[in-house]
Amino acid sequence: MENMSAVISLLQTIAGICFLAAIGFIMYKNMKKGSKESVMALEVVPAAQKNTKLIDFSQVAGNEDAKNKVCDIVDYIKNPDKYNKYGARIPRGVIFYGPPGTGKTMLAKAVAGEAGVDFYAVTGSDFVQMYVGVGAMRIRQLFKKVRQSGKAVVFIDEIDAIGKKRSNANTSGNDERDQTLNALLTEMSGFDDTDGVVIIAATNRIDILDEALTRTGRFDRHVEIGLPNVNQRKKIIDIHFKGKPVSDDVNFDELAKQTIFFSGAMLEGLINEAAILAAKQKSEFIENKHVEESYYTMIAGSPADKSIVKRKDMYITACHEAGHAVITRIVLPENEISKITVIPSSNGSGGFVLSIPPDKMYYTKKDIEGMIMSAYAGRAAEEVIFGKDCVTTGAQNDIQKAASIIKDYIFKYGMFDEFGLIGSEYEKDGLIYLKKVSYNLYNKTVEIVKNNKEVILSVANELIEKETIYSGRLDEIMNNMV
């Protein structure tokens, strides 16, 4: 009896284990199925259903050339028969390329808004998955939904996530990306010329895209969306200040001149930050002081606690920044020296000189050399005033900046005669040429500093006293020392 009881107990235990295992297996299968389905799923909803308001070209400031290049595409979406009559094939795919924050997404929305059609927005990363076939499945899912809409604009941001140049390496990661890219190309080829569907892709690096994407019949129109010029910046500033309580002391024209190399997104951020500052201070209007504080914070970081700076360090900083300012005024006379300060900032810099270059398309060899010498001027001032063995670490960023410019000067622009017009970099000899240009221009900078040492010391002393001086005062000091 005891043996029988033991056998029954054992059988019950085994049955219980099998039952629990079965339940666990069923739960695992369901979870795996649900996980796979969730991975496969991609929310494909037009902008209108997301309550995303489309815009038109009038709300896109700047980039007039880019807008002109897509006007015919808007017309094609509205009136495809007009072009089919002549056998014209409007590009099915368009690539917007340029620096971040220049308005590529905004212009894509404007194309859909002008054409009055649905707008679908996705990113390349939506199709990058660890499971082979998921990206391709999502591509097909997207275009199935688009076909149901009829005429539409499909916007794929960060297209380089799936469209980078393919290598010869046959790895599983490449297999997945290749399948996704091939699915995209196949779906694009499946549209009829009369469908009125246009695919717009955006990238910051058009040079790394696969040729299969950029060839004729695919994304064969490439539209550069670059940084705005001074007039375009003025229009962007007008748009972002619209509806805000702005003081009369805010000069939009002057702000447009100061913000060279700012993208549209940076301008929006600057103005928004100024509005936040005004709100914090409970000001009636957004005043020029708020705009200036926002501007300098974006350039150099927020001011740090001055009490932590020793007197000796302050003097070194003053001489360093005075060197930058005076030498820049000499070697780059077209630049506006807007502000010189020894107030440390939260990004680690002891002070800075805000030098605004002219807004122009081309820079001469003399201009480029001036930029390099301007970068070296702080270190050169330290060497001349304190001695070669007493230079500091304060020139770290300046040296990196100068090295980057020198590299372009030699290899990209072909401005160094000893290297020639090769247009590429050779590892073997590259460092030798970099050192030659660096040595020559640094020594020139040191000589200019020696010839203007008294002016630099005068500017440094005023910086110690006032902490910040502006363009007009710098010119007064330099003119009085002549």
Among residues 114, 158, 176, 321, which one is catalytic? 321
How many other CB atoms sit within 10 Å of the CB of residue 340? 29
* Structure-block tokens of residue 376: 């070296």
Domain spanning 47-224: CATH superfamily: P-loop containing nucleotide triphosphate hydrolases (3.40.50.300)
Domain layout of the chain by residue ranges? 47-224, 230-300, 306-481
Q: What is the pLDDT of residues 447-480, one digit of tens each?
A: 999 999 999 999 999 998 888 888 888 888 888 8
Q: What is the DSSP string of 410-435?
A: IIIS---TTT-S--S--HHHHHHHHH
Domain spanning 306-481: CATH superfamily: Peptidase M41 (1.20.58.760)
Report residue 345's pLDDT band, with 50, 70 and 90 as the boundaries.
low
Q: What is the pLDDT of residues 52-81, one digit of tens each?
A: 667 888 888 777 888 888 888 888 888 888
Task: State the average pLDDT for the chain.
Answer: 82
Burial 149-179 (b: 16+ CB within 10 A, else e): eebbbbbbbbbbbbbbeeeeeeeeeeebbbb
Coil vs helix vs strand at 149: helix
Q: Is the pLDDT of residue 223 over 50?
A: yes
For β-strands 468-470 and 336-341, DSSP reports them as antiparallel
Q: What's the CATH code, domain 230-300?
A: 1.10.8.60
Task: For residue 321, indicate whether it is catalytic.
Answer: yes
Rounded to a whole number, what is the largest CA-CA distance in the chain?
A: 120
Q: What is the pLDDT of residues 267-286, one digit of tens each?
A: 999 999 999 999 999 999 99
pLDDT for the residue numbered 35: 45
